[in-house]
């Protein structure tokens, strides 16, 4: 008997010519995005707007950042849960991460850099900002396609203006044994859209709707796009927010980064009436993303099978 074919995420090309609203290529790609997000909540995106030298230098910047002393990294603080330094967790000892708010805004990245390198570090700051700024173009394209796909064109500008960006950078220590160990627990993201980029070390796994796990092979030429709970709620459940985890094997250190589009504080996530009908009753009450995030990190939120349903389900 032959072995089963490994599962793969859909691959969608965003490097095509004429990928502009109204063009045939746009409509074809938009249809692929809709199907992928309904079926998987996730896909692999080919995107060539980030030069290869910048894609390589981003991991050098991450190594430099995580090599700083712990007392320096602890200066990365935030009032928002999971926006500052995270590490030293007994349950996930391999995992360490930091957050850079508004990473597409040069002045905000400069302020982050100066906090950790008072003497300055121009190359780090330029790399982080340039990467985030260019990757945000992919986020905007995908979100515009989603809104168009569900007949929400009149809400596009309001939706795009309702968010800002967090660049979450992550390090997973390599193992000293041959065993496979948990790098990060299975979870759904809580934001709008996450775009992940990884070095050459495997580890990311995405759960399908029928509870199988897809092992995602890293590629320097592509990005992993994933839907978060806030967009799942905004679209009244029409697109899927997938569970995913990191499982580590081998001795190499894994670096990854995620550009998270996040509802601004005070913005209420509420599904438009156009997405509510007899076949699709309203699933969630309106909510503030920051308050939802705070609930998620309570004992009740961590215990919930679905923190979103527990917090604001109808």
Per-residue pLDDT reduced to its tens digit, 92-111: 999 999 999 999 999 999 99
pLDDT digits (tens, 9 = 90+) for 54-68: 999 999 999 999 999
What's the pTM value of the predicted model, to 2 decimals? 0.95
Enumerate the β-bridge partners of residue 172. Answer: 95, 254
Half-sphere exposure of 81 (CA within 13 A, CB side): 14
Asked if 156 and 144 touch (Cβ cutoff 8 Å), the reply is: yes
Domains of the chain: 11-266 (2.60.120.330)
Q: Which helix (H) or strand (E) holds 59?
A: helix 52-66
Which tokens hold the place of 67? 């090599």
Lowest mean pLDDT among 78-82, 172-176, 218-222, 246-250: 78-82
* pLDDT value of position 5: 63
pLDDT at 178: 83
pLDDT bucket at 4, cuts 50 / 70 / 90: low
* Pairwise CA distance, residues 126 & 128, whole Å: 6
Residue 253, pLDDT above cutoff 90: yes
∠ Cα 152 154 159 (to 5°): 75
* Mean of pLDDT over the chain: 94
Query: What dihedral angle (degrees, nearest 10) is formed by the CA atoms of 31, 34, 40, 42?
Result: 100
pLDDT at 198 over 80: yes
- Residues 238, 43: Cα–Cα separation, whole Å: 16
For 200-247, the pLDDT digits (tens) are 999 999 999 999 999 999 999 999 999 999 999 999 999 999 999 999
Report percent pLDDT > 90 for the chain: 86
């Amino acid at each position: 008997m032959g072995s089963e074919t490994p599962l793969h995420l859909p691959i969608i090309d965003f490097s095509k010519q004429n990928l502009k609203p109204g063009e045939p290529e746009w409509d074809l790609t938009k249809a692929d995005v809709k199907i992928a997000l309904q079926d998987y909540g996730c896909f692999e995106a080919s995107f060539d707007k980030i030069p290869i030298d910048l894609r390589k230098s981003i991991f050098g910047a991450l190594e430099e950042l995580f090599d700083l002393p712990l007392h320096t990294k602890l200066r990365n603080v935030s009032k928002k849960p999971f926006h500052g330094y995270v590490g030293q967790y007994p349950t996930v000892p391999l995992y360490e991460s930091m957050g850079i708010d508004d990473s597409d805004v040069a002045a905000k990245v400069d302020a982050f850099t100066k906090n950790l390198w008072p003497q300055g570090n121009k190359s780090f700051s330029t790399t982080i900002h340039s990467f985030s700024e260019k990757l945000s173009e992919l986020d905007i394209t995908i979100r515009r396609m989603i809104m168009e796909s569900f007949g929400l064109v009149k809400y596009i500008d309001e939706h795009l203006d309702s968010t800002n960006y967090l660049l979450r950078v992550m390090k997973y220590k390599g193992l000293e044994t041959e065993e496979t160990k948990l790098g990060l627990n299975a979870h759904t993201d809580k934001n709008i859209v996450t775009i992940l980029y990884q070095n050459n070390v495997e580890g990311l796994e995405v759960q399908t709707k029928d509870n199988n796990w897809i092992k995602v092979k890293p590629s320097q030429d592509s990005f992993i796009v994933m839907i978060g709970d806030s967009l799942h709620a905004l679209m009244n459940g029409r697109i899927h927010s997938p569970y995913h985890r990191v499982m580590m094997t081998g001795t190499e250190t894994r670096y990854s980064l995620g550009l998270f589009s996040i509802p601004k504080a005070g913005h209420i996530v509420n599904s438009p009436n156009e997405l509510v009908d007899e076949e699709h009753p309203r699933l969630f009450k309106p909510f503030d993303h920051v308050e939802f995030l705070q609930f998620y990190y309570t004992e009740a939120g961590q215990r919930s099978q679905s923190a979103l349903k527990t917090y604001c389900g109808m």
